[in-house]
Amino acid sequence: MDVNVQDPPRSHGDLEGGEGTQEMRSRVGGRWVPFDRDSISAFLGDPLQLRGDDGCTYHYLRARTYGFNDDEVARDICLVNHSYQISPTGTPWRILRKQMKTLSQVWMVFMLANMVPIGLVSDLNIPRCHLLYFLLKENYFVDIAKIIYHGIYKFVRLEVSHNNQKAKGSLGFPTLITAFCASHGAEVNPSVKKHTSN
């Protein structure tokens, strides 16, 4: 099936929360589309094959209270004599892109374009620095499908305001989501008329 992935679903508002959200699925173009981790991973070709007790190192450490060593993260990401900026409360806050090593900057662009899309790319907050650190490490596992699923889930769960409008939030991955929805039979480009032969 050929899909024109240039055109996203009518709007990302078509990804509705409510019914089905707890089952990690949403109605798109009249079809139920699952957005759980396993469905996304299968669509991506199962990029992370976990073996035995091997797990996603990133999510394991993220779940622990003191899982990351911010000084080590800054040392691996930043240029010599640079580190993270401190928040007014005295905790690590962000790392500026101009203070990162070249390899860190390249991986940051890849990460922001493909995994955790955001508009501002002049710096990374500490949680995103942790993810970047893990992407740079050869012996650590990062479950990309889980990160993408979590981003979609947060968007779908946005509450509707008293004016019957969804809370503001941006959904990344428009090309991925369009192709994913099309693979589940959702109509992704209603302006294109399908010709049927008589």
C-alpha–C-alpha distance, residues 182 and 160, integer Å: 26
Angle, in degrees to the nearest 10, between helices 102-114 and 126-136: 110
Residue 4's pLDDT band, with cuts at 50, 70 and 90, is very low
C-alpha distances (whole Å) from 91 to each of 80, 125, 126 are: 21, 11, 10
Residue 8's pLDDT band, with cuts at 50, 70 and 90, is very low
pTM comes to: 0.70
The pair of three-digit structure tokens given for residue 56, joined into one six-digit string: 């996603």
Query: DSSP label at 94?
Result: E
The pair of three-digit structure tokens given for residue 145, joined into one six-digit string: 């499908």
The pair of three-digit structure tokens given for residue 133, joined into one six-digit string: 């650190």
What is the distance, to the nearest Å, from the Cα of residue 167 to the centroid of all Cα atoms in its chain?
19
192 or 48, which is more confident: 48
* Helix, strand counts (H, E) of the chain: 7, 5
AA identity, residue 193: K
Tens of pLDDT, residue by residue over 123-161, are 899 989 999 998 898 888 888 888 888 888 877 776 655
Tens of pLDDT, residue by residue over 31-46, are 889 989 899 999 988 8
By the 8 A CB rule, do 33 and 184 touch? yes
CB atoms within 10 A of CB 42: 13
Give pLDDT, residue 70. Answer: 92
Give pLDDT, residue 17. Answer: 47
Give pLDDT, residue 79. Answer: 97
C-alpha–C-alpha distance, residues 122 and 97, integer Å: 5
Give pLDDT, residue 7. Answer: 35
Residue 169's pLDDT band, with cuts at 50, 70 and 90, is low
Segment (H or E) for 166:
none
Give pLDDT, residue 195. Answer: 55
AA identity, residue 77: I
By the 8 A CB rule, do 84 and 94 touch? yes
The pair of three-digit structure tokens given for residue 136, joined into one six-digit string: 């740079």
Q: Quickly list H helices, 100-163.
A: 102-114, 126-136, 144-156
Give pLDDT, residue 164. Answer: 60
AA identity, residue 61: L
